Amino acid sequence: MDTRFTQVEFGPHKVEVLRGGYYDRYRMNPNLDEVALDPAAGNIDFFRRIPKRLAASRVGPTWAPNFYYRSSSIQLLFLAPLARLRATVPEPLEPLRAFPGHGLVALTFFSYAVCDNDPYDEVSVAVVIRRPGARGSHALELLDSMRRRSFVAHVLALPVTTEIARVRGVHGYQLPKWRADIDMHIETAVSASIATPGGKPDLTLHAPLPALRNVVPQSRMGTTTMINKVDGAWHQSTVQSNTLSFAQRLFPRDIKLVRNGGPLSQLLDGLGASTVLRLDVVKDAQLVLNLPTPLKAFEHALI
């Protein structure tokens, strides 16, 4: 057995985690005064105003929400044919129309350097959808979402690099997670890659780094809401973000995304994700992931 790891109980599951890591020491309920002493965590004042509570979950009582003290990400926002998206997204979810006949698909590489359940990387493929119960103009809803930096999405794939991240996602949230090798770097340029479960290349990404902008903490807040079924009923899970350093570019040039035929390559191809509308690079951000809650807007919908 690798001495860098120790086995812990996570609900009914036994999972190996980093020995002496955040999960091993705190079990999702950290002492923030101790976290503040960790130079890798940075300034954690944002988290002090968000109380944790012991909450019921599918894997038993767990401390929530989950804190990500240091994270970074690279996102490509694609245009995709609405017909393809409607065929993929289950009713009553509805893809948000961005242009006539086209919706939005987000491919995002995440790297979590410091968090409650230890460092890991993750890749998301998600369709941007309408807010539950929304009516009226898609264009106005999209503009409002952009203004408030608040989007709703249905996640189609969410591979991760560690077993505790996989177990939490699959059994706690019923999200489509599996283990995969993922690599991500934000330096003078940005690069990212993910392998298939068998270790062969799936996606590789290279792009120039747009000029980064640093902002005052808690001045650029955002919210992403994931909607999926948990035990057959619709639920929503919100992610609050406190972005500290970022860059954006519309219709970016010199983006090289190679699709090697793995599961994410096939998913993007099946969705018809082609034109890259925007590149978002987040060099530094803090995140708060909340547990799923029942979605009342769909209580009377056909599920």
- Give 223-287 as a DSSP string: EEEEEEEETTEEEEEEEEEEEEEEEEEES-SS-EEEE-SSHHHHHHHHHT--SEEEEEEEEEEEE
* CA distance to 31, 71, 81, 109, 282, per residue, from 190 (Å): 34, 15, 27, 11, 11
What is the CB neighbour count within 10 angstroms for residue 2?
7
What is the CB neighbour count within 10 angstroms for residue 85?
25
* CA distance to 112, 188, 301, per residue, from 18 (Å): 14, 30, 43
How far is 86 from 92, CA to CA, in rounded Å? Answer: 10
Q: Where are the domains of the chain?
A: 68-298
How far is 105 from 129, CA to CA, in rounded Å? Answer: 9
Q: Measure the N-to-C terminal CA separation of the chain; round to a whole number of Å.
A: 45
pLDDT tens across the length of the chain (303 residues): 578 999 998 878 899 999 999 999 999 999 999 999 999 999 999 999 999 999 988 888 999 999 999 999 999 999 999 999 999 999 999 999 999 999 999 999 999 999 999 999 999 999 999 999 888 899 898 888 888 989 999 999 999 999 999 999 999 999 999 999 999 999 999 999 999 999 999 999 999 999 999 999 999 999 999 999 999 999 999 999 999 999 999 999 899 999 999 999 999 999 999 999 999 999 999 999 999 999 987 755 433
CATH homologous superfamily for the domain 68-298: Acetoacetate decarboxylase-like (2.40.400.10)
The model's pTM: 0.96
Place of tokens 């699959």: 170
- Structure confidence at residue 189 (pLDDT): 96
* CA distance to 93, 117, 118, 159, 207, per residue, from 285 (Å): 29, 17, 16, 20, 20
Task: Enumerate helices (H) and strands (E) in the chain, giving the number of each.
Answer: 8, 17
Q: Provide the H-helix boundaries in the chain.
A: 22-26, 32-35, 45-48, 82-88, 138-148, 163-167, 173, 263-271
How far is 257 from 205, CA to CA, in rounded Å? Answer: 4
Side chain identity at residue 258, one-letter code: V
Asked if residues 235 and 293 have their Cβ atoms less than 8 Å apart, the reply is yes
